[in-house]
Structure 1
């Protein structure tokens, strides 16, 4: 549940760790098919450590941290870490199979391998939610209760540092609450598939305004995002690749910003500096725009797919980074 539970655990743990001990850690990483020549580690108290790759192809550094959960990013993907004073961690992975290949050795490896495996388990359950949408709510609740019990058993048997257990254990119950909200969102989105989509008439970055009706006759893949949204920005490279793959095909790619009015200029500059493609639009009333509210959007990024007749194909479509998006578009777009 990297996209959901991951953010919940990280935000809470950052505040938890503000009074924790500090000390130095050693960290190195050997990454096949790396996405970047730098790794960045984020942590409590606005901690940020950038590590460049050396001539041997290894990311290596010694730095001081506040004990607690951190996050490392290779520029395209990210993963949770648990760092404490005295750790000597060595990471290996293949960036093409990011989550599946993360392996740690050295002091502190047990906690970090646990986090990597939990992320995989959570993500698998998130994918299984799609199948549970076709079943009744009782089936979903039973599956969620089973997962929560299994997570607690694994945590208790893992023999982890007590500080990490103190962070993760209370979060498991909150994960259930977040997943229930996610399930309800998916279920509500599924109900409007096949119906005529609400419309929009928004400012176009290139000038003038664009209506949804202007795009009739083509599929429309919509990205609802904002310049301040980290997960939204992380999808941009993947979106550019998808746009390139379907260039000239019967589909338009539309990005709708829900930035507030005071950030209008920031949006304009961001689109230009990042050379964003597709049709770039600015919602008239950010989160309160009629189109945004019609889809019940209260978290971003959110992706929608509308057919050439203006009907909803997917009210909660796969992200550009998901292989299932290409599978879906290949089955529809000519």
Structure 2
């Protein structure tokens, strides 16, 4: 009996040790995007979890306490993980953010982040970024106060709260920087656009002056840019919608010199429409630097006299672009 007691004690003790040095994660995903999900931190994959015979993703693994991302195909959500957690997630991948729910140890923190993500989606950042500086600052302070108060009232894990507050602070700094950039772009509106004379994919060169008399919608992009490529179907649709109208769609590549042939091949293979140009000095081209472009895609709208209508125009995927073009081209 004594030996049996000793054995049971050791077994119980070993179970406690394992649970404290690892965690269990389980996901029951309806309409999953694949048979493998990934838990990552930045570019590092912490865990690759394959679906089992019951259609459930489950794994036990050690983890360094902190924030992670869960990927199901291209969709992803955020996780807060630590050893000792026994976290169970349910989700419908066809409505990813709206359906994420957690149960088990660690659920409270992760449900908080899921709910916060939905609140962020509903927040009208577009109106805030379009506001005058004083209104913008007041709006940011009000949002910051509300976010921190909601976090403090939730009674969550102290490490989670500390980590999440640091992220919120960084997000607000980033928002201010983005606003400053947008405000600088707005100052360019109603001024004369700088000119260009770039290589045309069809041969020869094309200048901005050659398009005088037409509205010009410019897409600054590169072949390696994922977000740029994501806009291509929407850009093609806009070109088709306004075919024959008084507007020229121009794409300016800032691909570096070594990728010149890659650009030529990409334009051909993807059957890109509009006027396809190649910037003479890439990021250092006069036209690019005049608009302070350091990230892409970037869209610019000019009027028939070469005056800047919008130095930071809406993307083709944004329905408001079509509303704006409809009003100009009616």
- TM-score (norm. length: structure 2): 0.74
Contact 1:38 1:74 in 2 (8 A): no
What is the aligned partner in structure 2 of residue 288 from structure 1?
Answer: 284
The CA RMSD measured in Å over matched residues stands at 3.6
Matches within 5 A, 1:133-212: 135=132, 137-160=133-156, 164-212=160-208
What is the aligned partner in structure 2 of residue 26 from structure 1?
Answer: 26
Distance 1:170 1:245 in 2: 45
Matches within 5 A, 1:44-123: 44=41, 45-47=43-45, 61-62=57-58, 68-70=67-69, 72=71, 78-82=75-79, 84=81, 86-92=86-92, 101-107=98-104, 110-122=108-120
Contact 2:192 2:308 in 1 (8 A): yes
Contact 1:40 1:48 in 2 (8 A): no
**Secondary structure of 2:199's match?**
strand
Structure 1 unaligned spans of 5+: 1-20, 54-58
Structure 2 unaligned spans of 5+: 1-20
Report the CA distance shift for 1:219/1:94 in structure 2 as closer, same or farther (over 3 A): farther
Contact 2:301 2:311 in 1 (8 A): yes
Matches within 5 A, 1:209-228: 209-228=205-224
- TM-score (norm. length: structure 1): 0.74
Contact 2:197 2:208 in 1 (8 A): yes
Question: How many angstroms does 1:332 deviate by?
Answer: 1.6
Question: How many angstroms does 1:178 deviate by?
Answer: 1.4
Question: How many angstroms does 1:200 deviate by?
Answer: 1.5
Distance 2:69 2:47 in 1: 11
Deviations 1:25-73 (A, max 9, x none): 3334446xx9x889975722443999999xxxxx964468866321647
Aligned residues: 300
Report the CA distance shift for 1:174/1:211 in structure 2 as closer, same or farther (over 3 A): same
Distance 2:329 2:103 in 1: 49
| Larger radius of gyration between Structure 1 and Structure 2 | 2
* Larger RCO: 1 or 2 (CA < 8 Å, sep 6+): 1
